[in-house]
Every structure is written in C-alpha cells, then in structure tokens.
Amino acid sequence: MVAAGNDGPYPGSVGSPGSADAALTVGAVDDRNRIAEFSSRGPRTGDGGIKPDVTAPGVDIAAAKAANGFAGSPVEDGYVALSGTSMATPHVAGAAALLASAHPDWTGAQLKAVLTGSATPTAGATAFDQGTGRVDVPAALGSRVLAEPANLAFGTASWPHGDDEPITRTLTYRNTGDTASTVALAVDAHGPDGSPSDLFSLSATEVVIPAGETATVEVVADTRRGGVDGVHAGVVVARAGESTVRTPVVVEREVESYTVTFDYLDRTGRRPRTSRCSTSVWTTRCSASPSPRGAGSPPGCPRAPT
C-alpha cells in the first residue's frame, strides 16, 4: 500500500515506491469523488505503465493531532484536517484489512485485484489519473470474480504503423465462489480525441468459470487500426451477475516521429571519443495526449483531456 505522491497534476509524477508493479498505489479524491489536483498522475516513467491503481478520500481528512504538532487545520480539540495521498492511503489499508479478514487465505495480489477491479471510477478521469477509481468496500466484499493482473499496459508502438504487429496480453479471471460463474466481457476504450477506439479486442466475449477455477482471455492491441495517433485507453469490463470487474488497458500509437543523428567535432576540429548522438523529433500533427513513456507531449501538444 503506497501513496501516489502529491506532485500532481503533472503527467508522469508517480515516483518510487508507488511505481512498483506489486504496489497498490493510491491517489486522492475529494468528497465529491473528484481527482485532487495535487494527486500524482501516471503514466509510469519508462514504460508507460498504469499508475496510480486506485483512489480514496484524501482532501480535508480529519485526523488526530500530534501532541506538539502544528500541521493541518484545526477541526476540534485534538484533531486537524489534512490533505494528501498519505491521507487517502489509510482508507485503502483499512479496506484491504476488511477484505483480508473475510478471506484470510487470499494473497496480497488477490486483495489488490479485488480492490482495483471493484473500484468506482470518476467520470471523465483517465486511468493515469485514477487507475480504476475510488475504492468501494461493499463492492469488494461482494466480489466473487477477480481479474489478474490489475491492469494491462501495452507500451508504445513506434511510428509508422503500417507494419505494426498486434500485441497480446493475457487476462486471468478467477472464480472464488462455490458455484459456476458466467462472465460477460466487453471493451470500452477511447482514443486521444475522445472518440471510441477499436484498437483493442478480446478472444472471447463470454466465459464460464467453474467454482474455484480460472479462465483466461487474450486481450489484443492492434495499432494498425484507426487513424488517430496518441494514447488509446479504456477498460475491459467483466460482468458476472450483479458484480462488475474493470481492468484498465492502454497503448500508445506513436505520433509521426523521426530519429535525427548528429555528428559533431570538438572546438579543436577533431572528432571526440563520443561523436554521435540522436534524439527523436515529433511533428506537430499530434494528439492531445502525453507520451506514456513519461517524456511529455511532443512540442505544441496539450495535455490529455480529463
């Protein structure tokens, strides 16, 4: 359980240890379920991974005041109000404790899978803002089907895209109940311009999972489809009875880019030991989305819409 950090709203601002795959990384929302401006955002620097994983209330949270403390706004004698992802994280720790009490045999990865899969999303927020959304304790306690891993990041497909190879990831659904479960599956994804995206597809739209067993579904990102470059993101939605499990998916269809190589001489006119370097140059025909690799948008590109 790790706080995402308070370096938002800038893309790529979730740092270590919240960037770790195994970490359940927590962002902050207010009492109207709006993403707190200070809450650190993804994508994870380096590989475009989805972080944070979930959110929880973290704005103006009343807490016991330290005897000689001075931080926070007084609420009443002995208590102050503080804001931060470190105020949101204890809510998720408590939710995990309740879930572990109900299922003492579950692993940490399974607890994470249920808490993320059953969360309530903030409308208009991206996976890089919220993961799957605000932790929902009743929904988590009522879950009988969980999905692993908690999210699927497909990385970046380099421009141009005519020769791209489809990228496949495996999503595993586990039925923890004592009866078979029929799970209906669908993808809800959008491109950088907000229009529906058809880059993602599933190997099945329904699976039947026997009690205590698992079923796998292949999720494919095919960046040859569509004409809009930028970040395409969404969720795989699994419905089993009244329960819903949501798994974020994201892939970057790189904007038109070129590698420029420079050969240079030192001030004496000689070639230094290292005399070549390269950099990427983007065109300005870009999407309104940041690079999931944490490098920021190409010059002139606005931040992704929320």
Would you say 10 and 128 are in contact if contact means Cβ atoms under 8 Å apart? no
Nearest to 103 by CA among 212, 207, 29: 212
List CB contacts of 251: < 8 A, sequence separation 6 or more. 153, 154, 155, 156, 157, 167, 199, 200, 221, 223, 231, 232, 233
Give CA–CA dist 121/267, Å, rounded.
Answer: 57
What is the identity of the amino acid at 256? E
When the pLDDT of each residue in the chain is averaged and rounded to a whole number, the result is 89
Residue 302 has pLDDT above 50, yes or no: no
- Binning pLDDT at 50, 70 and 90, where does residue 279 land? low
Largest CA distance in the chain: 79
Going by C-alpha positions, the residue among 252, 20, 50, 13 that lies closest to residue 131 is 50
CA distance 90 to 37: 19
Topology at the third CATH level for domain 1-143 = Rossmann fold (3.40.50)
Strand partners, 175: 145
User: Per residue in 7-40, pLDDT tens?
Assistant: 999 999 999 999 999 999 999 999 999 999 999 9
Instruction: Render pLDDT for 124-158 as a digit per residue (tens, 0 to 9).
Output: 999 999 999 999 999 999 999 999 999 999 999 99
In the predicted model, is pLDDT for residue 290 greater than 80?
Answer: no
Here the tokens at position 148 are 């692993």
CA-nearest of 137, 136, 119 to 127 is: 119
Choose from 85-89, 188-192, 266-270 the range with maximum mean pLDDT.
Answer: 85-89
How far is residue 282's CA from residue 240's CA, in Å, rounded to a whole number?
44
Q: Crossing angle, helix 108-117 and helix 85-102, to 10 degrees?
A: 110
Domain boundaries, the chain: 1-143, 144-259
d(C-alpha 128, C-alpha 181), whole Å: 31
The string of pLDDT tens digits covering residues 224-242 is 987 789 999 999 999 998 8
CATH of 144-259, picked from 3.40.50.2300, 3.40.50.300, 2.40.50.100, 2.60.40.10, is 2.60.40.10
Helical H runs in the chain? 85-102, 108-117, 127-130, 137-142
Q: Is residue 274's pLDDT more than 70?
A: no
Q: Once rounded to an integer, what is the mean pLDDT over residues 170-193?
A: 95
Tell me, letter by letter, the H, E, C secondary structure of 36-85. Answer: CCCCCCCCCCCCCCCCCCEEEECCCEEEECCCCCCCCEEEECCEEEECCH
CB atoms within 10 A of CB 137: 16
And the tokens for 303?
């931040």
Q: Exposure pattern of 211-250 as b/e (b: 16+ CB <10 Å)? A: eeeebebebebbbebbebbbbbbbbbebbbeebbbbbbbb
